[in-house]
Structure 1
């Protein structure tokens, strides 16, 4: 089966034993290092008109949008790549736009813990918020959950 997967896709594959101690931590570190390696050389001018043809562009603010096809955030003429968990989390919130998504639902969807969820919420906020300490786009209402405020 692995041989057929390798010939059917050009995407890099990594096989992980979920029972291995520290497997999630290793995946998160690998994911983070790949994002760090690929992020630095990618810079764009404020002219994003060439992106209007890409389907799956979700405007978050007047200066920030989420490009689903490229798995990245464009903000102020700069590109910020999303890790797999960041992408899944943001994509799920967009699919559930205009409604609060409880933290336990996000934890179940991502197959992770609440602690990891909060880490990734903060990572996304650092990429989409003008001031991550005072969020205006990715909001949390105690007792209701997280919601994207795309009118920020």
Structure 2
């Protein structure tokens, strides 16, 4: 597996190249944002590990540039600890965020989690609720209309929330689980983030956002994606076929 590591700190770059290489990963490095974009185009890495504060192009600009043509997971590794920086990176298209300093075990665990997500994409279901079709593998949502299907656009973070809920359809997903998986354990009490994104998702996919039928709140606990019978094509963890 090939990993692109982009960081303007030569010591960090060297440490990650040696450590990841010792674990069997093929490592490509870049010292600034322009090099990172060019390396991504040339080498097509399986995972990108990016710093935010790089010269020439910032990490956010790299993420936006790469996301225009690649779905490879992006892990941000940054010394910026502010919630706004993290939200900006995730909304730009990053898949995960690790704050410096970090342990190498945590970094390796995050990389393994991202690669497992790649492996599970082939098992992603197609969900139909009312006039909306959700295709997790294609990361697309369409709504039926008289003139033909209309595309419903989600931000990357809205996709993260919806992906977790759909893959656990019918099950309660706690607020703590969602916050930890999307924003990290340091934001486990920031429930305002979650309420905002759930409200945005309801506006985009619920027939009546004020009276949700599918994105349900479990008071004091979390959220549940509730499916009606006979609406799933394919299989995914937590999603049952009509015959099961």
- TM-score, normalised relative to structure 1: 0.68
The list of structure 1 runs, each at least 4 consecutive aligned residues, that deviate by more than 6 angstroms after superposition, is 13-16
Structure 1 residues 25 and 102, CA gap change in structure 2 (3 angstroms): closer
Asked if 1:24 is matched to 2:113, the reply is no
Q: Secondary structure at the match of 1:73?
A: strand
* In 1: Cα distance, 2:81 partner to 2:225 partner: 35
Q: What is the CA deviation profile of residues 110-143 of structure 1, one whole-angstrom value per residue up to 9, with x for unaligned ones?
A: 1253111111111111111011111111001213
Q: Which residue of 2 aligns with 1:86?
A: 158
- Matched residues, number: 130
Tell me if structure 2 keeps the 8 A contact 1:73–1:127. Answer: no
Asked if 1:66 is matched to 2:134, the reply is yes
Task: Map residues 72-151 of structure 1 onto 2, 5 A cutoff.
Answer: 72-76=140-144, 77-111=149-183, 112=187, 113-151=190-228
* In 1: Cα distance, 2:91 partner to 2:177 partner: 24
How far 1:100 moved relative to its partner?
Answer: 0.9
Q: Structure 2: where are the runs of 5+ without partners?
A: 7-27, 30-38, 46-64, 68-73, 94-121, 230-244
Which structure is higher in strand share? 2
Asked if 1:12 is matched to 2:73, the reply is no
Structure 1 residues 19 and 146, CA gap change in structure 2 (3 angstroms): same
Structure 1 residues 91 and 30, CA gap change in structure 2 (3 angstroms): closer
How far 1:145 moved relative to its partner?
Answer: 2.2
Higher relative contact order (CA 8 A, sep 6+): 1
Tell me if structure 2 keeps the 8 A contact 1:99–1:147. Answer: yes
Q: Structure 1: where are the runs of 5+ without partners?
A: 32-53
How far 1:24 moved relative to its partner?
Answer: 3.1
- TM-score, normalised relative to structure 2: 0.45
How far 1:18 moved relative to its partner?
Answer: 5.0
Tell me if structure 2 keeps the 8 A contact 1:60–1:137. Answer: no
